[in-house]
Amino acid sequence: MCNVIYLISFVIEINKVKELNLVFKEYIGFLKDKGLEYDLKEGYYWLDNSIIKAFDKEGNLHKVLRVYIDEDLEMMFKEYKDKPFEIESWQETVNRNENNLLALEFKSRLLIKRCKEKYKDRIISVPSSGGKDSSVVTYLVQQIINNPVIIFNNTTLDVSDTYLHIKKENNLRIINPKEGFYQWRERNNFVPTRFSRACCSIFKEGAMIEELNENDKYLFFMGMRNDESATRSGYIDEWRNDKWGSREWDAILPIRQWTETDIWLFILYRNIDINSKYRKGYARVGCGVACPYYSKSTWVLDKYWYPYLYQRWHDILDKDFIHNKKASIMNCTNNEYHNSWSGGIVRDKATEEAIQEFADQQGLDINIARKYFDKTCMCCDKKLKKDDIALSMKYYGRQIEQFKCKKCIGKEFEITNKELKEKIKEFKADGCQLF
C-alpha cells in the first residue's frame, strides 16, 4: 500500500518539475567569463532552457536569471526582480522528493528483475551514450545483474569528456565504425540538417547491428524516456527496434516514465558519476558540434569549451557554402549560413548582398549569378536546385530567363536520370563554373 502512496505523490510532483538541469560551478565560471555579475553558487540553481531558476523552501520554482545569445554568439543577461525568497539547496530538494525517488527506483528495479527472469538465456547489455539517462540505467541494472555488458557506439563525434567518462565502465565494449564521421561526410559531400541526416542510423544503431553477432540473443536495458519526444511518448516497458529484424534482441526501458528532473535528483541521491560535459552547461552530451539539433545555446558552449572542434566544423561549413552553392539554396550570405546550416532557408528572396557575394565566390557575372536564386521549373513548377539551374544554362544557354528541372530536361532530350547525373559529374570535373 505504501508504494501506491509514493506513486501518487510522484504524479503530483512531476507536474511542478519536469525539464530542469543542474547549474554546476563550471557553467557558472563560463557565465562569469561572458560578463555575468550575478552571484551564483553550485548546489542551488537549475537551468530551464535559457532561464536559471531556484526552488524556495516550499518547493515553488522562481525565475532568477535569463541568458540571451545573439546571432554573433555574444551573451547578455537579464535579472528577474522577484520577491526575496529563501533558496532551497539541491540536497533539500532531494530530501523533499525522497519518497518519489524511492518509488521510481523500486518500480524500475522490479521491472529489471522481472525481465531478467523472463529472458533467462539472453546476454544482458546496457547500450550507453555516455549521457545521464544511460548512467542511471547502468546504475540500476548493476544493482540487480552482475557485470552486464556496457556497449558504447563510438560515433567519432563525441568529445573527450564523453570518452573519459565511458572508459570508467567495467565490462565495456566499444563499437567503432568502419569509417569516421568526417571521412563519411567528405566522401558523401554531405552536411547533416534537421531534414536530412543519417548520423544516428549509421554510427549508432547501424554500427551496432553490423558489429554484434545476429545469432546471439540480447536483452538490452535502454535509457529512453516517454517525455523525451512525441515519438517516444507511446513507448511501453518492452520495446523492439524494427531494424533488428528477426534477431532475438529485445529492449527494456526501466526509466521510461522518469522526467528530466527525476533523473537529476536520483543522480544526486545515489551519487552517480556523470559525464563532465554536463558540468560545462550542456543539457545533452551526444555528438559534439555537428549535430543539427543543437542551437545557439550549444554553439556558444562549443566555441568556448571545444574551440578546435568548433573551428574544424565551421571550416567545413565555409567549404560547403561555396562548393555546394548554398547561397542560392538558402538565400543567404556565408556569415548567415554559419547560423542557419542546420536546416531551412534564411529568407524567401535573396538580398543583393547575398547575390553579389555568390557572384564573387563563384566567379560569375552578377546577371548570371542572379539566375540561381528563387527559380522554379517552367514545365512542372518544381522548386529548382543548383544543378537544375546549372544544367538548364548548360543546355539552353546562359542568356535564358526560364529554367527546367533535371527530370524535364531529361524528357526533352531523351536522357535518363542516371545519364544526366554522369553528365553533371563530367561538367564538374571539367571545372565548369556553372556547377
Domain boundary among the residues 280, 296, 328 is at 280
According to the model, what pLDDT value does residue 419 have?
A: 87
According to the model, what pLDDT value does residue 347 have?
A: 80
Q: How far is CA 87 from the centre of its chain?
A: 33
Q: Which three cell numbers stand for residue 386?
A: 543548383
Q: Is residue 85 part of a domain?
A: yes
Q: What is the CATH number of the domain that holds 204?
A: 3.40.50.620
- DSSP strand E in 118-205: where? 123-127, 149-153, 172-175
Residues 60 and 191 in one domain: no
Question: 196-232: per-residue pLDDT in tens?
Answer: 777 777 878 888 999 999 999 999 999 999 887 777 7
Check residue 180 and report its DSSP letter.
-
Q: Which of 149, 134, 146 is nearest to 216 (CA)?
A: 149
Residues 155 and 246 in one domain: yes
Strand order of the β-sheet with 61-69 is 21-22, 46-48, 51-55, 61-69, 75-79
Q: Is residue 343 part of a domain?
A: no
- Total of domains in the chain: 3
Residues 136 and 217 in one domain: yes
Question: 82-91: per-residue pLDDT in tens?
Answer: 788 999 999 9
Q: Which residues contact 434 (CB under 8 A, 6 or more apart)?
A: 390, 393, 394, 398, 427
Measured CA to CA, the distance from residue 234 to residue 244 in angstroms comes to 20
Q: Is residue 357 part of a domain?
A: no
Low-confidence stretches of the chain (pLDDT < 50) are: 1-18
Q: Is residue 183 part of a domain?
A: yes
According to the model, what pLDDT value does residue 2 have?
A: 32
Residues 114 and 251 in one domain: yes
**How would you classify residue 331: left for phi > 0, otherwise alpha for psi between -120 and 50, otherwise beta?**
left
User: What one-letter code names the amino acid at 45?
Assistant: Y
- Residue 93 burial by CB count (10 A; 0-12/13-18/19+): exposed, middle or buried? buried
Supply angle C-alpha 353, 327, 331, rounded to 5: 70
Q: Give residue 404's domain range.
A: 375-435
Check residue 126 and report its DSSP letter.
E
Residues 230 and 170 in one domain: yes
Measured CA to CA, the distance from residue 413 to residue 118 in angstroms comes to 64
Q: Is residue 424 part of a domain?
A: yes
Domain boundary among the residues 89, 106, 128 is at 89
According to the model, what pLDDT value does residue 148 have?
A: 97
Question: 253-306: per-residue pLDDT in tens?
Answer: 999 999 999 999 999 999 999 999 999 999 999 888 998 888 899 999 999 999
Residues 165 and 249 in one domain: yes
According to the model, what pLDDT value does residue 213 have?
A: 95
Domain boundary among the residues 232, 251, 280 is at 280
Q: How far apart are the first and last CA of the chain?
A: 72
Residue with cell 536530412: 196
* Residue 52: HSE in the Cβ half-sphere, 13 Å Cα cutoff: 25
Strands 61-69, 75-79: pairing is antiparallel
Q: Is residue 285 part of a domain?
A: no
Q: Is residue 366 part of a domain?
A: no
